[in-house]
Amino acid sequence: MYREGLLGSGSRDVTVYTSSLKDDAEIFRETILAMMVHLNELERLGAVPGESAARIRGVLRRAAAEGIGGGDGYEDVHEYLEARLIEELGPEGGWVGLGRSRNDHVATAIRLRLRRLMLLLARDVAELRDALLRRAIDLGEELMIGSTHKQPAQVTTLGHYLLGLDELSGDFLSTLLSNYCLVNKSPLGSGALAGSMVGADRGREAGELGFVGVVENTVYATGSRYFALSTASSVVAYLTEAGRFLNNLQMWLMPQLSYVDVDPKHLATSSIMPHKRNPATVEVMRARIGEAIGHLTAMYSILRPLEVGYELDLQEATRHLWEVMGIAMESTRMLADVVRGLKVNSPAVSRDLSAFPVTAAETAEKLSLEESIPFRQAHRAVAESIKKREFRGLDPAAVVRGKRSMGAPATMIESARRRLEQVEKFKLAVDSMLKAVSDVEDEVLGGSG
Ligand code: ARG
């Protein structure tokens, strides 16, 4: 049923078209948190009578417990909540509008929601690292044919690939953490863009919400989404890079190569060709990562033409941020599951270790070192022997074992054990950060008054 909201435009179609209410389900609880802390501040300042503040808190708490429902006819969750307060309490419910703008409240809510999602994503990436490291340790020196330009290049191990993906994931976690510091600051109390006359102590409000600081400038605090762009950009950069491994998997799963096996649950057959075992999970994950790039591009496209102060286009960018974070968490978990069941198909790898001269580079290096001839000459000599089908390669396993310089396949297992310990500690740290955030937020919603 359509009801005209507090600020209604008078047209149902227009309100439905411009409303963010459906998307606001994502920040419902967080919007209430911002309202609660704002109200606490108004009460402390003596701007709102204590009994009114208590009654308002009661309604907001109930709303938080019940969740968002209905709301057809409202521009957004902020208007919906204020209307609900006025409906239940009469004009007294209108106190919450004092010194508040939806602009500072929505920026606060997005940051609260995003910081939680970032911690959850950090947890998922840590689990992926755990899967990669354990799998690499178990696979040990199981050989793999490393390729460049999609051509057989050098012998390595599957573990070496997995540990490369682990290092990428560690680098991403550092970026995520630095973005977390950017996100975890409070815009609350900034008003629409230039502050308000009520004189809120913005530092105190930030502290109550467990933010580590304040976004100082009020126009920056309300009008900017740099924190969201920066986070989504780094997430998409990670997904793009990690997703390249899916292309290796797909290639290795081609029956012509069959270098690896995955758990059959990640393969699908064809409805017409009974012999097919298509890498369904890998393909869908790649597509989802492509979509994440689309969502990020949407954010850039929406933000680019806007002035510095708030414009309603910003509301439309937020949804894409949640999409990026959702795809990141889901993909990370799915990739971890694929990795846990990843096996080397040794006969196929051995077949191609014999079929292709993947120790040619090392043979030339050895020749250059042992005969003390310039490498270019050695390179030419090995190329000639390959052309004449006279190439006698080195033993691939010995080649892998023989390389001891940092980061080479055989050196990585010890480093994997060290990394696994770090990941365990990291998981505990993220868990305690999540708990701290939850405790602070529960305190705001459940606190006395
Ligand atoms: N719903 C908006 C958003 O999600 C906040 C409202 C700002 N509206 C306004 N007229 N200034 O960004």
Residue to mutate, 76, 78, 111, ligand 1, most ligand atoms under 8 Å from C-beta? 76
State if residue 102 touches ligand 1 by the CB under 6 angstroms criterion.
yes
User: Could you read off the pLDDT of 129-147 as tens digits, one per residue?
Assistant: 999 999 999 999 999 999 9
Average pLDDT, integer, range 405-423: 90
Q: How far does the centroid of ligand 1 lie from the alpha carbon of residue 392, in Å?
A: 71
For residue 213, the cross-strand partners are 185
Q: Tell me the CA–centroid distance for residue 158 and ligand 1, in Å.
A: 50
User: Which residues sit opposite 157 in a β-bridge?
Assistant: 143
Chain segment 265-278, per-residue pLDDT in tens: 999 999 999 999 99
pLDDT of residue 449: 47
| Nearest ligand 1 atom to alpha carbon 77 | 1
pLDDT digits (tens, 9 = 90+) for 166-197: 999 999 999 999 999 999 999 999 999 999 99
Query: What would the mean pLDDT of 221-247 be, rounded to a whole number?
Result: 98
The predicted pLDDT at position 177 comes to 97
Query: Measured from the CB, is residue 319 less than 6 Å from ligand 1?
Result: no
* Number of neighbours of residue 83 by Cβ within 10 angstroms: 21
Tell me, in angstroms, the distance from the centre of ligand 1 to residue 103's CA.
6
Region 275-304: mean pLDDT is 98
For 125, what's the count of Cα atoms within 13 Å in the CB-facing half-sphere? 28
Residue 412 has pLDDT above 70, yes or no: yes
Please state the atom number of ligand 1 nearest to the C-alpha of residue 24: 4
DSSP symbols for 8-55: --S-HHHHHHH--TTGGGGGHHHHHHHHHHHHHHHHHTTSS-HHHHHH
List the structure tokens of 110: 């997005």
Q: What angle do CA 109, 111, 113 make, to 5 degrees?
A: 70
Residue whose CA lies nearest to ligand 1 atom number 3: 315
Q: Give the tens place of pLDDT for each residue, 307-346.
A: 999 999 999 999 999 999 999 999 999 999 999 999 999 9
Listed in sequence order, the residues at least 6 apart from 228 whose beta carbon sits closer than 8 Å to its beta carbon are: 110, 114, 183, 299, 317, 318, 321
Ligand 1 contact, 310 CB (< 6 A) = yes
Q: What are the C-alpha distances in Å from 73 to residues 15, 28, 68, 217, 318? A: 6, 17, 14, 33, 20
> Is 3 a residue whose pLDDT tops 70?
no
Q: Is 314 in the pocket of ligand 1 (CB under 6 A)?
A: yes
CA of 317 from ligand 1 middle (Å) equals 11
Supply the residue whose CA is at minimum distance from atom 6 of ligand 1: 102
Quickly state the pLDDT bin for 1 (edges 50, 70, 90).
Answer: very low
Instruction: Please give the pLDDT value at position 414.
Output: 85
| Dist. CA 202–CA 291, nearest whole Å | 38
In short, whether 40's Cβ falls inside 6 Å of ligand 1 is no
Residue 76 near ligand 1, beta carbon < 6 Å: yes
Q: What are phi and psi of 378, to 5 degrees?
A: -65, -45
The predicted pLDDT at position 316 comes to 98
Q: Ligand 1: does its nearest atom lie under 6 Å from the Cβ of 318?
A: yes
Query: What's the average model confidence in pLDDT over 201-211?
Result: 98
Residue 399 reports pLDDT greater than 60? yes
Nearest atom (ligand 1) to Cα of 318: 4
Q: Is 103 in the pocket of ligand 1 (CB under 6 A)?
A: yes
* CA 219-442-429 angle, 5° bins: 85
Helix (H) or strand (E) segment spanning residue 145 = strand 143-148
Cα(34) to ligand 1 centroid in Å equals 14
Distance (Å) of CA 384 to CA 109, 357, 378 = 67, 12, 10
Q: Measured from the CB, is residue 82 less than 6 Å from ligand 1?
A: no
Q: Please tell me the distance between residue 331's alpha carbon and the centre of ligand 1 in angstroms.
A: 31
Task: Please give the Cα distance from 410 to 291 (Å, whole number).
Answer: 37
Nearest to 229 by CA among 329, 125, 308, 114: 114
Is 222 near ligand 1, meaning CB less than 6 Å away? no
Residue 448 scores a pLDDT above 60:
no
Torsion of CA 260, 265, 266, 270, to 10 degrees: 100
Measured CA distances, 184 to 109, 177, 408, 437, 443 (Å): 11, 10, 39, 10, 18
**Ligand 1 binding pocket mutation candidate from 16, 31, 310 (most atoms within 8 A of CB):** 310
| pLDDT tens digits, one per residue of 91-131 | 999 999 999 999 999 999 999 999 999 999 999 999 999 99
β-sheet bridge partners, residue 228: none
Model pLDDT for residues 378-391, shown as the tens digit of each residue: 999 999 999 999 99
Token pair of 124 as six digits: 């998922």
Burial of 172 (0-12, 13-18, 19+ CB in 10 A): buried
Ligand 1 atom closest to 110 (CA): 4
Q: Looking at ligand 1, which residue's alpha carbon is closest to its atom 12?
A: 315
Domains and CATH numbers, the chain: 12-98 (1.10.275.10), 103-192+213-350+413-419 (1.20.200.10), 360-393 (no CATH)
Q: Could you tell me if the CB of 74 is within 6 A of ligand 1? A: no
pLDDT at 12: 86
Contact indicator for 33, 106 with CB cutoff of 8 Å? no
Question: From CA 374, how far away is CA 376, in angstroms rounded?
Answer: 6
* 404's tokens: 């001891």
Ligand 1: nearest atom to the Cα of 20: 1
Ligand 1 pocket member 180 (CB < 6 A): no
pLDDT digits (tens, 9 = 90+) for 366-378: 999 999 999 999 9
Average pLDDT, the chain: 95
Strand 343-344 to strand 260-261: parallel, antiparallel, or no bridges (unpaired)? antiparallel
The complex's ipTM works out to 0.97
Nearest to 113 by CA among 3, 34, 214, 196: 34
Q: What is the pLDDT of residue 410?
A: 82
Once rounded to an integer, what is the mean pLDDT over residues 37-52?
Answer: 97
Query: Which tokens hold the place of 341?
Result: 């069941």
* CB of 105 closer than 6 angstroms to any ligand 1 atom: no
